[in-house]
Amino acid sequence: MIRPGKMLKQVLESVFKKPATTEYPLVKARMPDNFRGKIVFHPERCIGCRLCMKDCPSGAIEIRKVGEKKFECEIDLGKCIYCAQCVDSCLKKALEATREFELAVLDRKKLKVTYNAETGEVSKG
Ligand code: SF4
Ligand code: SF4
């Protein structure tokens, strides 16, 4: 059994210790460099080989040809399991795993994001 004197010492030590927890979401969480968050697409690098689609274990990514050497990319963030296999499979580094993890939305359709072939801009739903 813990003695009251010893317990008091531990309580007082805890009062002045830096907390082990963070104040998220008041303080933005910084994820490690190798974190596998939201996948983004760089259209200018894509050659349309579709290796990413072939290797994606959850069928979350689709590459569509929209013009001569122009490809757009749709990723369903609701299906994605953030394994970053597509990033590893892409020999042109056209896909990138970011540290973005705050992806919750109220409308599931908004989890489907399409990266424009020209600008890389994102449209949702
Ligand atoms: S993103 Fe990479 S792997 Fe996917 S089609 Fe484009 S070049 Fe190929
Ligand atoms: S991170 Fe994994 S699940 Fe998500 S699109 Fe890439 S390969 Fe598919």
Q: Give 62-82 pLDDT, tens digit per residue.
A: 999 999 999 999 999 999 999
* Entry pTM: 0.84
**46 CA from centroid of ligand 1 (Å):** 5
Residue among 44, 61, 75, 92 to mutate when testing ligand 1 (max atoms within 8 A of CB): 92
Find the angle CA(69)-CA(56)-CA(122) to the nearest 5 degrees.
55
Query: How many domains in the chain?
Result: 1
Residue 112's domain comprises: 31-124
In a domain, 48, yes or no: yes
In a domain, 1, yes or no: no
Q: Is the CB of 92 under 6 A from ligand 1?
A: yes
Q: Alpha-carbon distance 30 to 9, whole Å?
A: 33
Q: Which residues of the chain have pLDDT under 70?
A: 1-2
CATH no. for residue 43?
3.30.70.3270
Q: Is the CB of 103 under 6 A from ligand 1?
A: no
Pocket of ligand 2 (CB under 6 A): 39, 56-58, 60-61, 75, 80-86
In a domain, 64, yes or no: yes
In a domain, 76, yes or no: yes
